[in-house]
Amino acid sequence: MKYLLDHRSRYIFGLLVLLIPFAVCADKGVSRYQQLKTHFHQTLATHETRLESKFHSLLSVAETDEERAWLVYRWVTYHFKHDAGLANRIGDPSQHSLEKLHKLAGGSCAVYADVTHRLMKMAGLEVKTIYGLVKGGPATSHRNGKPVNHVWNAVKVDGVWKVVDSTWGAGFVGRQGFQSLHSDLFFLLPPEKAMLSHYDGADELGYQRAFAVNQSLFAKLPDDALYAAAVGLDPKLIVDAARREPRFNLVSTFDLPPDALRVMSAPVSGVLERREHRFVLESAIFEELMIVQGKSWRPLKKSGKVHSLILVPSQGELLVMGRRPKQHEFEALLGYRVK
């Protein structure tokens, strides 16, 4: 299966480590995520070579299905490297033992998904392997009459099926080959976000039916729609705009640190009309937010961490920009064109 990650390299740096919402340990002031992360690296560093023993040690601290799923996801994304040549030699990963695949430590998305499926099943989780389409390239094969260019997983946590893509969580293929860039963005994607980047023609999870997304509409969605949703833009509004507009242009997003910005309200279309628009953004990093048009700088009203402004823009480029404490320069956060 072709490894379709090149289009992500522009966006991944600002979304490299999006923390999953594990609870905070009040007694030690250490997040549950940090505890699990420390345990993961300690397990990875042990000299135990037997997969089963190492796997049981890895899961020994997990208290919930979400934690078990994350430890499996993190292990697969760290241990396996994309290798097209190795993928060709492996062929169908289901024909090989888990131990062998673990020793080979590489392959295509089919290997990532197969190993993730087996390990999550060993962890006692309900899991599926899904063959379908992702943004960034055409179908390269078919399965049961449905187009396919990628393989990923879905796992049931707290009674809800969510998408897990270990391949994309491991890194991307660029000009220099495979680049390891671990991200939790592709762990437990909820339905409304998964539909922006992953299309299952068989609709095993019912996402396409629930949001009325067919293959034609999926093809119209911008490649970076998921990354826009990751900073808070409403995924349903993105889909509705793509459905409504013949040529939908998504608002431009820029490389930002993890959790730097949460868009509570803002236009999802990158092309604005000269009428009233509302911007509400939350940030613990940026002290001051401005809407910039040429020489015009309009500050957003600040209340705690929330910045807001309602305005009628003039024609031309519009940027939402932020300034950090003790810094003089502003950084671009969102970009629009006003017609």
172 and 271 both lie in a single domain? no
222 and 322 both lie in a single domain? no
27 and 55 both lie in a single domain? yes
143 and 275 both lie in a single domain? no
State the CATH number of the domain containing residue 272: 2.60.40.10
Q: CB neighbours of 85 closer than 8 A, spacing ≥ 6?
A: none
pLDDT confidence of residue 63:
96
Are 117 and 129 a contacting pair, CB within 8 Å? yes
Residue 23 lies in a domain: yes
Residue 1 lies in a domain: no
**pLDDT digit string, tens, across residues 55-77:** 999 999 999 999 999 999 999 99
pLDDT confidence of residue 103:
92
Residues in the chain: 339
16 and 130 both lie in a single domain? yes
14 and 80 both lie in a single domain? yes
Residue 161 lies in a domain: yes
198 and 303 both lie in a single domain? no
**pLDDT digit string, tens, across residues 165-199:** 999 999 888 787 788 888 999 999 999 999 999 99
How many Cβ atoms sit within 10 Å of the Cβ of residue 191?
18
| Residue 336 exposed, middle or buried by CB count within 10 Å (0-12, 13-18, 19+) | buried
Q: CB neighbours of 333 closer than 8 A, spacing ≥ 6?
A: 253, 254, 256, 261, 281, 286, 289, 319, 320, 321, 322
pLDDT confidence of residue 9:
43
SS (H, E, C) the chain: CCCCCHHHCCCHHHHCCCCCCCCEECCCCEEHHHHHHHHHHHHHHCCCCCHHHHHHHHHCCCCCHHHHHHHHHHHHHHHCEECHHHHHHHCCHHHCCHHHHHHHCEECHHHHHHHHHHHHHHCCCCEEEEEEEECCCCCCEEECCEEECEEEEEEEECCEEEEECHHHHHEEEECCEEEECCCCCCCCECHHHHHHHEECCCCCCCHHHHHCCCHHHHHHCCCCHHHHHHCCCCHHHHHHHHHHCCCCCECEECCCCCCCCEEEECCCECEECCCCEEEEEECCCCCEEEEEECCEEEECEEECCEEEEEECCCCEEEEEEEECCCCCCCEEEEEEEEC
Residue 295 lies in a domain: yes
pLDDT confidence of residue 29:
53
150 and 277 both lie in a single domain? no
Are 152 and 162 a contacting pair, CB within 8 Å? no
Helix 65-79 and helix 32-45, axial crossing angle in degrees, nearest 10 = 40
End-of-domain residue from the set 242, 266, 290:
242
Residue 292 lies in a domain: yes
310 and 182 both lie in a single domain? no
Residue 280 lies in a domain: yes
Residue 221 lies in a domain: yes
pLDDT confidence of residue 28:
45
281 and 153 both lie in a single domain? no
Residuewise pLDDT in 10s, the chain (339 residues): 444 444 444 344 334 444 445 544 434 456 999 999 999 999 988 887 788 899 999 999 999 999 999 999 999 999 999 998 999 999 999 999 999 999 999 999 999 999 999 999 999 999 999 999 998 778 888 898 899 999 999 999 999 999 999 999 998 887 877 888 889 999 999 999 999 999 999 999 999 999 999 999 999 999 999 999 999 999 999 999 999 998 999 999 988 876 789 999 999 999 999 999 999 999 999 999 999 999 999 999 999 999 999 999 999 999 999 999 999 999 999 999 999
- Domain count for the chain, please give it: 2
pLDDT confidence of residue 22:
57
226 and 326 both lie in a single domain? no
End-of-domain residue from the set 221, 242, 263:
242
pLDDT confidence of residue 47:
83
- Looking at this protein, which amino acid is placed at residue 240? D
In this prediction the pTM is 0.88
Residue 277 lies in a domain: yes
End-of-domain residue from the set 197, 219, 242:
242
State how far the Cα of 180 lies from the Cα of 169, in Å rounded to an integer.
9
State how far the Cα of 215 lies from the Cα of 201, in Å rounded to an integer.
7
Domain extent at residue 279: 251-339
157 and 302 both lie in a single domain? no
